[in-house]
Amino acid sequence: MRNSFLLFTLLLLAGTASANDTAARENDPRDQAMIDLAWDSGCFNCHDVHEEIRGPAWVEVARRYRGDDTAFERLVVTVREGGSGNWGDDRMSPNRRVPEEDIRTLVEWLLTLE
């Protein structure tokens, strides 16, 4: 129930997405799986898909790094090791308890967001 409500809320907040994009993503089981994985990994403690919380919104991260062929590996390292200075003064905590494969999967998905 929590995940369905969250997905519905996130889709409502997606004001920049077209109705067709939203409808297509809403029915994409991979998006729901990624939302579930992000919840399980603790990502939503600091991030949201569409709104800045403590960390940047993931759609903003995707927008910033779109077309940057080196971004994927850099972001994986930042998620795993933590970092600061890319999005203001807040420091991103390391996420070493999250399996490397899960980090890579989430970053890959995040970079596809519109």
| Domains of the chain, residue spans | 2-110
DSSP 61-109: HHHHHTT-TTHHHHHHHHHHH-B-SSSSSPPBPP-TTS-HHHHHHHHHH
pLDDT tens figures, 44-84 = 999 999 999 999 999 999 999 999 999 999 999 999 999 99
Q: Quick one: 2-110 is in which CATH superfamily?
A: Cytochrome c-like domain (1.10.760.10)
Q: Answer for the pair 109, 79: CB distance below 8 angstroms, yes or no.
A: no
Confidence of residue 18 (pLDDT cuts 50, 70, 90): very low
pTM, to two decimals:
0.74
